[in-house]
Amino acid sequence: DSGVTQTPKHLITATGQRVTLRCSPRSGDLSVYWYQQSLDQGLQFLIQYYNGEERAKGNILERFSAQQFPDLHSELNLSSLELGDSALYFCASSARTDRVTPYEQYFGPGTRLTVT
Partner 1 sequence: AQKITQTQPGMFVQEKEAVTLDCTYDTSDPSYGLFWYKQPSSGEMIFLIYQGSYDQQNATEGRYSLNFQKARKSANLVISASQLGDSAMYFCAMREGAGSARQLTFGSGTQLTVLP
Q: How far is CA 6 from CA 11, 17, 39, 40, 98, in A?
A: 12, 20, 21, 23, 23
Span interacting with partner 1, options 18-26, 42-50, 61-69, 79-87, rule CB under 8 A? 42-50
Q: Is residue 22 close enough to count as binding partner 1 by CB under 8 A? A: no
**Smallest distance, partner 1 to C-beta of residue 16, A:** 26
Q: Is residue 13 close enough to count as binding partner 1 by CB under 8 A? A: no
Span interacting with partner 1, options 18-26, 51-59, 69-77, 79-87, rule CB under 8 A? 51-59
Q: How far is CA 44 from CA 2, 23, 47, in A?
A: 20, 17, 10
Q: How far is CA 69 from CA 4, 14, 77, 85, in A?
A: 15, 28, 14, 25
Binding-site ranges for partner 1 (CB under 8 A): 2, 30-31, 33, 35, 42-45, 48, 50, 55-56, 58, 88, 90, 92, 94-95, 101-107, 109-110, 112
